[in-house]
Each structure stands twice: as structure tokens, then as C-alpha cells.
Amino acid sequence: MATLNVILNMHALPVFVDSDLETAQIDAGKIEAAITDRTAVMIPVHLAGGVADLDKIMPLAGKRQGSGGRRYLPVAPIRMARP
């Protein structure tokens, strides 16, 4: 929910991608179909101690360019260690 709030606080429109049934993480194979010229940021969320397939996700940032030639910025949330 915190990731969604960041997007909404920026007055942006979140676009969700289906989860992989085996890993319960974002289905990296479905991300490219969700990208449009208006896509500015990708935020893969690591869920329940699992890790999204960043080996497949990160290359999408350099491969696609949005309007004005800008590259997408993949943002991976950093897990904070508890004291």
C-alpha cells in the first residue's frame, strides 16, 4: 500500500501488472505490454520476502524510451533494516 500512496501523492496514475502464480511476484513477462509513451517510472515491489525478477525487469528501462526520448527509471524499493 505504501508504494501505491507514493504514486497517488505525485498525482500519477498507477498501472498494475499481474503476478506470477508460482512466485507471487510481478510477472516480468507482462511488464512490456503495460508500458506506454506516458510511462515514466517502473516500481517493482518485492512481496512477502520474495524478490521480483530484476534480471528481466531492469533491461526494460534502457530498452524503451518515452515521449521526448526520456528513459524509464526503474525504482526498486530498498528494504530498511529494523533496529
Give me the amino acid identity at 60.
Answer: L
pTM for the full predicted model:
0.67
> How confident is the model over 9-22, as pLDDT tens digits?
888 888 888 888 89
d(CA 83, CA 81): 6
pLDDT in tens, 61-80: 766 555 555 555 555 444 44
